[in-house]
Amino acid sequence: MGTQDVVVKDTDPVRVAELSAVAASFEPDDIGPVIQPLYGELHRRLGEAGIRPAGPGIAWYEYADGDGEAVRVHAGVVVAPHETTRGGVEVVDLPAVRAATIVHHGPMDGVDATWQVLARWIEDSGHRPLGLGGEVYLDYCPEDPSNGVTELQIPIAPETGDPQERP
């Protein structure tokens, strides 16, 4: 993948149902074992609460503390605007952000190289990342992960500086 694959865009605000937990770091070997069970539990709770997904899965990441490498992993799914927290599932609104994005094709065990392309583009372009970013699972294919399509997003500030941040 090259830098021509990076697109800067404004995302839409979305309401998501989510669960979160802490991973030791942002490394794929630490994220995978945390996010996979979160999604299983999230979908179980959504079914019990009668909350129906209204869009794709969305994961986002933030540092869990200021001193270490630990990362809070949020596993979410888009829900209808009227949905509220219930059934052990928190419903939150993610604001619109300006983000540098790139599309990853294939299984998530190969996503690290795509993250690196995106991070390098942000650094080379003079933008400033606003957090760790996240993933939108455009085509989630558990039966054949090689067919998966995931958009990686990192909120950015323009070169002039913009304090807008995703929670």
pLDDT above 60 for 3: no
- 164 inside domain: no
- 165 inside domain: no
Contact in structure between 86 and 127 (CB atoms under 8 Å): no
Domain count, the chain: 1
- 91 inside domain: yes
CA-based nearest residue to 166, from 91, 93, 111:
93
- 162 inside domain: no
- 42 inside domain: yes
Residues 78-97 have pLDDT tens digits of: 999 999 999 999 999 999 99
Domain of residue 132, CATH code: 3.20.80.10
- Give how far Cα 8 sits from Cα of 5, 106, 157, Å: 10, 22, 11
pLDDT above 50 for 146: yes
126-154: average pLDDT: 90
- Give how far Cα 11 sits from Cα of 34, 95, 121, 148, Å: 26, 8, 19, 21
Write down the pLDDT at residue 162: 45
- 43 inside domain: yes
The residue range of the domain holding 15 is: 3-157
- 163 inside domain: no
The pTM of the full predicted model, rounded to 2 decimals, is 0.88
- 167 inside domain: no
Residues 89-123 have pLDDT tens digits of: 999 999 999 999 999 999 888 889 999 999 999 99
